[in-house]
């Protein structure tokens, strides 16, 4: 989750609003992407951080127990079997192609491409509310800002189609201004 803070600084006698954004944790996105790609050969891109995420959760949940990588691996494998029970819009069982979803918003492109029997193997979206909606719809947390090298490093190299939604925030701001 992105953590934001606004600071007011006085520089050369003028006050400035400075928006500070702390780096986001990619482990939850790696975890959900690993779970959703365990059968198509793409999960290898997410496994390291997915295991670290599961291990962190288990350490917090069971502080008196020794949580090894093997325990985390077993927990991760167990979670795969419980995957699609609560996802409103699951991926097709036998996809015909793989795609990535950049600037994903709440998943409009994903829905269309899943209806064409495609499997999403990577998602990126920076807006925290869109990410929450995306997770609720597809059971997957999008990675953050695609302009960051850390986020780009998670893109798998074996996909067929790249989807990218154009930013619509400007239209929403214009619409609000027009109605005021």
**Residues with catalytic function:** 168
**DSSP character at residue 146:** T
Residue 121 tokens, joined: 């193997």
DSSP string computed for 33-72: HHHHTTTTT-GGGTHHHHHHHHHHHHHHH-TTS---HHHH
- Distance, in Å, from the CA atom of 162 to the CA atom of 86, rounded to the nearest integer, reads 27
Helix, strand, or coil here: 17?
strand
Q: Burial, 22: exposed, middle or buried (Cβ in 10 Å; 0-12, 13-18, 19+)?
A: exposed
Maximal C-alpha separation, the chain:
63
- Distance, in Å, from the CA atom of 80 to the CA atom of 38, rounded to the nearest integer, reads 8
Do 146 and 152 contact (CB within 8 A), yes or no?
yes
């Amino acid at each position: 989750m992105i953590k934001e803070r606004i600071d007011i600084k006085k520089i050369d006698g003028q006050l400035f609003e400075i928006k500070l954004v702390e780096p986001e944790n990619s482990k939850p996105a790696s975890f959900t992407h690993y779970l959703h790609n365990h059968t198509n050969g793409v999960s290898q891109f997410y496994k390291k951080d997915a295991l670290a995420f599961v291990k962190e959760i288990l350490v917090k949940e069971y502080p008196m127990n020794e949580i090894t990588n093997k325990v985390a691996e077993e927990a991760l494998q167990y979670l795969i079997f419980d995957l699609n029970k609560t996802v409103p819009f699951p991926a097709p069982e036998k996809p015909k192609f793989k795609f990535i979803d950049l600037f994903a918003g709440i998943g409009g492109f994903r829905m269309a491409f899943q209806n064409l029997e495609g499997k999403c193997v990577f998602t990126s979206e920076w807006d925290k509310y869109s990410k929450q909606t995306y997770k609720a719809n597809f059971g997957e947390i999008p990675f953050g800002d695609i302009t960051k090298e850390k986020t780009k490093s998670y893109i798998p190299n074996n996909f067929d189609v790249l989807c990218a939604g154009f930013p619509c925030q400007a239209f929403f701001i214009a619409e609000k201004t027009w109605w005021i």
